[in-house]
Structures are given as C-alpha cells and as structure tokens.
Amino acid sequence: MRKARSADAPAMSAVLIASITELCAADHDNDPDRLAEWLANKTPSGVAAWFDNPDNTLVVAEHGGQIAAVRGFSASREITLNYVAPAHRLAGVSTALLEAMELELGPGEARLNSTATARHFYLGRGWTEAGHRGIAGYPMRKLLG
C-alpha cells in the first residue's frame, strides 16, 4: 500500500469502474441509469479532483506493479472508498485496506455507507448498522479502539 498520487487517477478510475460494474450488480441491477449515476464521479478527471480536497486521504494497493485496490477516508472519519479490482477479489485486499484505515483513523467512531454487496463483509469485521438503508447504501459505524 502507498499514498495515492494524482498521476494514479486514471488507474484508480479503472479499478473503481470495474469493481462497481462487475462486483456490485446487486446494487445497480445492471440498470444503465443507476450505474451511470454511481460512476459519474469515478472518471479519471473526477478522481483527480478528489486530490484537491485536503480532507481526503487516498491510498492504493499495488500488486505486480498494477493498482489492485483503492481506499479513502475523510477528515470527518468517514470511509469513502474501499474498492478492489475484480481480478483481486477474495484475496484479502479489502480486509487489509479496511484494517489499515481503521488503524490510521485511530480511536473513536468511524462511519461508512456500505453497498448491499459489501454489507456482510463489514458486518463480519465488527461494523454495525447505524440506521436503515438509504439512497447512499447501508449506514454503518464502528467504535475503533
């Protein structure tokens, strides 16, 4: 894992688009409108804009010189990204990213909005639901120690 650089934006975009498109069908049901809405800010220029916000922490995981996963969280202790490229799914990458984010965030409550696809992943790692499913997904929280 390493801190993401603005030059990584195209590769990060490719991982996000592939992950959402291929792994999150339970969330978008292959509906072109829902998918387009979700992917609207995942373009290379959209991802590049995230680097302009000093409240964002963006990290990539590499495997074989390629970006295999993208993670991010905000200064307000919200996990905003935890996406893995389909070729690296079920290899422990998402767990490693989540554990690293939890350590970096330190003690206190952290939040995220989970997809239906990732909901059981987070529940299995000690996150709890923090309300009913909304448009942005399943709100979750965890008290980090």
Q: Enter the pTM of the model.
A: 0.88
pLDDT tens digits, 86-108: 988 877 788 888 899 899 999 99
Per-residue pLDDT, averaged over 136-141, amounts to: 85
d(C-alpha 138, C-alpha 132), whole Å:
7
Angle at alpha carbon of residue 51, lines to 118 and 115, rounded to 5° = 10
Q: Count up the domains in the chain and report the number.
A: 1
Q: What is the CATH number of the domain that holds 49?
A: 3.40.630.30
For residue 95, how many other CB atoms are within 10 A of its CB? 14
Domain of residue 101, residue span: 2-144
pLDDT tens digits, 31-62: 888 889 888 999 999 999 999 999 999 999 99
pLDDT at 135 over 60: no
